[in-house]
Chain A
Amino acid sequence: EAGVVQSPRYKIIEKKQPVAFWCNPISGHNTLYWYLQNLGQGPELLIRYENEEAVDDSQLPKDRFSAERLKGVDSTLKIQPAELGDSAVYLCASSLGEDTQYFGPGTRLTVL
């Protein structure tokens, strides 16, 4: 069974540019999560979807971050414009309801 797929794996951009990350969850998993992982720290939740509905986006900086999960499957996380402090790893995870979360390999973003 395929795991959570994320792309790109690495992205380098200049500040003020937009960037987007894509996530394809495990087939059948209705819950999808985006996490931010700063260097040397544990992941922190940005947003959680149940099917296509964002049920927890309290930690998402809405002035520059946006996310969508059309049709309740794939999801895209966007940053516009990116700032130097956004350099981090962006992790996507999925679960079947409230069961165990499974993580993708992450996208490492570097903002110059």
Chain B
Amino acid sequence: GDSVTQMEGPVTLSEEAFLTINCTYTATGYPSLFWYVQYPGEGLQLLLKATKADDKGSNKGFEATYRKETTSFHLEKGSVQVSDSAVYFCALSDLANDMRFGAGTRLTVKP
């Protein structure tokens, strides 16, 4: 079945460092791809999404590009802030809108 594999954490960076969180997927069709973020004590919030190959999703300085040839959707940010500390989940949804989530990557940004 469809699945998502994302980089294991935790990831610890200094403020203004460059962030990459790797995400690869396995799917039989052409899924939509998502990054969700979960701040402490809160539910998942949609960060960005891409619905077809070569689409780039972006929000709050974060970007991810849907790469069909490498089945990847890596999350990047050029300069992280302390407020970006959270758990990041990569996910895909198929035609039936069934979501499959990765295990999550915890990011801690230190001042």
Residues of A at the B interface (CB closer than 8 Å) are 4, 6, 31, 33, 40-45, 48, 56, 91, 93, 95, 97-98, 100-106
Asked whether any CB of chain A lies closer than 8 Å to the CB of B44, the reply is yes
**Complex: chain A residue closest to B97, CB-CB:** A98
Contact of B103 with A105 in the complex, beta carbons under 8 Å: no
Asked whether any CB of chain A lies closer than 8 Å to the CB of B59, the reply is no
B31 CB to closest chain A CB (Å) equals 12
Number of residues from B at the complex interface, CB < 8 A = 22
Given contacts A4-B43, A100-B46, A105-B43, contact A42 B91 (CB under 8 A): yes
Contact of B101 with A95 in the complex, beta carbons under 8 Å: no
A24 CB to closest chain B CB (Å) equals 13
Q: Which of A42, A44, A102, A104 contacts B46 (CB 8 A)?
A: A102
Complex: A101 Cα to B91 Cα, angstroms: 11
Q: Chain B binding site: helix, strand, loop or mixed by DSSP?
A: strand
Query: Which residues B14-69 have CB closer than 8 A to chain A?
Result: 34, 36, 41-46, 49
Chain A residues, CB < 8 A from B34: 100
Chain B residues, CB < 8 A from A91: 43-44
Q: Which of B42, B97, B103 contacts A41 (CB 8 A)?
A: B103
Provide the B73-104 mask, 1 if CB < 8 A to any CB of A, else 0: 00000000000000001010101111101111
Complex: A60 Cα to B43 Cα, angstroms: 21
Contact of B97 with A43 in the complex, beta carbons under 8 Å: no
Complex: A31 Cα to B98 Cα, angstroms: 11
Chain A residues, CB < 8 A from B101: 42-44
